Structure 1
Amino acid sequence: MGKKNGEDKRGLKLLFWSIAGLKMKDNLFWDYVKNFYFVGLTETWILERDWNKLKDVLPKEFQWKLQRVKKENRKGRAKGGIITGVKKDIKEILRRGGNRNGRHG
């Protein structure tokens, strides 16, 4: 493990979490998220009107995408919602002897 020629050989870390609401998460939570390369947060409960505010809080090291939720009823909170993030510095890595399709030879 460790680094060789400046490359991190420990692998790519993935976080997948059913978050049960995202609005109240603090800096400690977002600092933890920064330890991963790929992030999938489900049950975010984020409505379209809340997305612009939330984008200001999300770590800038990631490219974020949102699947918004819609409220089924006027009362109560929205259900569902997914946010995915990929660190911006992720590069395509080719296996030795492989091509872009993953085939060898």
Structure 2
Amino acid sequence: MGKKNGEDKRGLKLLFWNIAGLKKKDNLFWDHVNNFDFVGLTETWILERDWNKLKDVLPEEFQWKLQGAKKEKRKGRAKSGIITGVKKDIKEIEEGQ
């Protein structure tokens, strides 16, 4: 950590977590998430159709993406689902650029 000649030497922090459902996470959970630069949340159980509602409660410091959960049957909860987040102040460079 710290700076040398104006460079940030803190490194990057990654969080990967099987959270077993995202809808009931509280502010303490999101405060913890904010301590990281890259976030991967698995087993979110979030369907594509619920994504727009959920985006409003996610920390604004991140760029979020969803791989929606799937329902095998009409009734019951969805399975799987992944949400990834990257802090907005981190520049993303796509392959081939």
Identity in percent:
89
Equivalent residue number for residue 101 of structure 1: none
Report the 3-state secondary structure (helix = DSSP H, G, I; strand = E; otherwise coil) of the residue aligned with 2:15: strand
Gaps of 5+ in 1: 93-105
Equivalent residue number for residue 54 of structure 2: 54
Output the CA distance in 1 between the equivalents of 2:21 and 2:7. 35
Equivalent residue number for residue 85 of structure 1: 85
The TM-score, its normalising length taken from structure 2, stands at 0.87
Letter in 2 for 1:34: N
Instruction: Give the number of the structure whose alpha-carbon radius of gyration is greater.
Output: 1
Rate the CA distance shift 1:59–1:5 in 2: closer, same or farther, 3 A.
Answer: farther
Letter in 1 for 2:71: K
Gaps of 5+ in 2: 93-97
Instruction: Please tell me the root mean square deviation across aligned C-alpha atoms, in Å.
Output: 1.6
Aligned length: 93
Output the CA distance in 1 between the equivalents of 2:50 and 2:25. 14
